[in-house]
Amino acid sequence: MRLYLALLHYPVYNKHQRRIASAITTFDLHDISRLAKTYGVKRFFVITPLEDQQGLVERVIRHWTFGYGATYNPFRKEAFELVAISPSLESCAKSILDLEGERPLLIATDAAKQSGRPMSYAEASEVVTSERVVALLFGTAWGLDKEVYSHADYILDPVDSGSGYNHLSVRSAAAIILDRLAGGYPKG
Amino acid sequence: MRLYLALLHYPVYNKHQRRIASAITTFDLHDISRLAKTYGVKRFFVITPLEDQQGLVERVIRHWTFGYGATYNPFRKEAFELVAISPSLESCAKSILDLEGERPLLIATDAAKQSGRPMSYAEASEVVTSERVVALLFGTAWGLDKEVYSHADYILDPVDSGSGYNHLSVRSAAAIILDRLAGGYPKG
């Protein structure tokens, strides 16, 4: 498995469907890095073009990998060692290409069903657990800008429990999606 | 489906295996109430004996169900309407008995495998999606006190991705467990 996660803080929508750069939520870093470690993800990219927000992520990573946090909770250290910062999706894809020698297949997630290039969980699980390099893209705030979807190779079906309520946190969506796609895969 | 969730802040362990009452994490309330709404859970009980912590939960519920939050984000209102506060597991079980006319089957969760009364995901899913009244118990801090397990009817197998790393947040564990147990059940 050569799976990567990317959490985008730009370009995303705000409540009024305007394009923004969202603020970092430190709970996202903790929860999603621990998920990444649990499911054998190779790296978890936190994408933001804002330098002060990159600085915040750096400080959190440092605290848990080198600072007091690393001795206080070594399990958190293992998780935060997977976190990387990237200024854009393009730059993140380039980092993965450099690491793997192969362009990642970009699978974007969305809480709503889209019409173009849909991918089922069965199809996505097959690709994710193959030797193919895959990056799963998650949005913050009110979701990924349409520009991101236009760059994605596929758009994963919504989590869709059948209740008609599709307003999970990105942390919950990432947990469910990783379990569905990589939960049955034997990890190193 | 007659499924209930309970998030226990007492009795749980701290890092040094001492019994404590843990502090409320407001992200737990947001993430788990939204999960509850998504998966057709009937009520999400937040259990704490500490009055100031009960007061905090009440204020958060009020903000999102009657205050500014209710108009700012009506989806959050729908989720928070499922949240109830209870001082103890015993009292929570009594509330469910009063609501359902039937004692709930208590299924406790744990990040580690226990030896007594284990329950697989297939077994638990069958019970959860039946007409049986079920309460799933989740712990905070360093996990549920052994006293809670002694009161539980069953102990659900750990999430166990096979990576050997079992340090998910309770928010992530709840997401994965609900999707595994109630994800295929037609809601609404």
Alpha-carbon gap, residue B89 to A60, rounded angstroms: 35
| CB contact (8 A) between residue A38 and residue B166 | yes
What pLDDT sits at residue A188? 41
| Band of residue A187 on the pLDDT scale cut at 50, 70, 90 | very low
Mean pLDDT of A135-157: 97
| CB contact (8 A) between residue A179 and residue B161 | yes
What pLDDT sits at residue A58? 97
What are the residues whose beta carbons fall under 8 Å from the beta carbon of A77, sequence distance 6 or more? A64, A65, A69, A70
| pTM, to two decimals | 0.96
The strand pair at B12-13 and B19-20 is best described as antiparallel
pLDDT tens track for A18-69: 999 999 999 999 999 999 999 999 999 999 999 999 999 999 999 999 999 9
Alpha-carbon gap, residue A47 to A132, rounded angstroms: 22
For A76, which residue in chain B has the nearest alpha carbon? B167
pLDDT tens track for A103-113: 999 999 999 88
Which residue bears the tokens 């974007």?
A108
ipTM: 0.95
Contact A175, A36 (CB under 8 A): no
- DSSP run (H or E) holding B119: strand B118-119
Q: Bridge partners of A107? A: A136, A154
- Which residues in chain A have their CB less than 8 angstroms from residue B69's CB? none
Residues present in chain A in total: 188
For A37, which residue in chain B has the nearest alpha carbon? B165
Backbone phi and psi for residue B89, each to the nearest 5 degrees, phi listed first? -60, -40
Helices (H), chain B: 26-38, 51-65, 68-72, 74-80, 89-100, 121-128, 146-151, 170-182
| Band of residue B185 on the pLDDT scale cut at 50, 70, 90 | low
- Could you tell me the residue ranges of all domains in chain B? 2-182
What pLDDT sits at residue B187? 46
Nearest to B40 among A163, A168, A186 (CB): A163
Strand order in the sheet with B43-47: B83-86, B43-47, B2-8, B133-139, B105-108, B154-156, B118-119
Backbone phi and psi for residue A44, each to the nearest 5 degrees, phi listed first? -115, 110
Is the pLDDT assigned to residue B1 strictly greater than 70? yes
Alpha-carbon gap, residue A171 to A37, rounded angstroms: 14
Is the pLDDT assigned to residue A150 strictly greater than 60? yes
| CB contact (8 A) between residue A34 and residue B167 | yes
Nearest to B167 among A40, A75, A165 (CB): A75
Tell me which architecture the domain covering B2-182 has in CATH. 3-Layer(aba) Sandwich (3.40)
Return the number of CB contacts < 8 Å for A and B. Answer: 119
pLDDT tens track for B89-119: 999 999 999 999 999 999 999 998 888 899 9
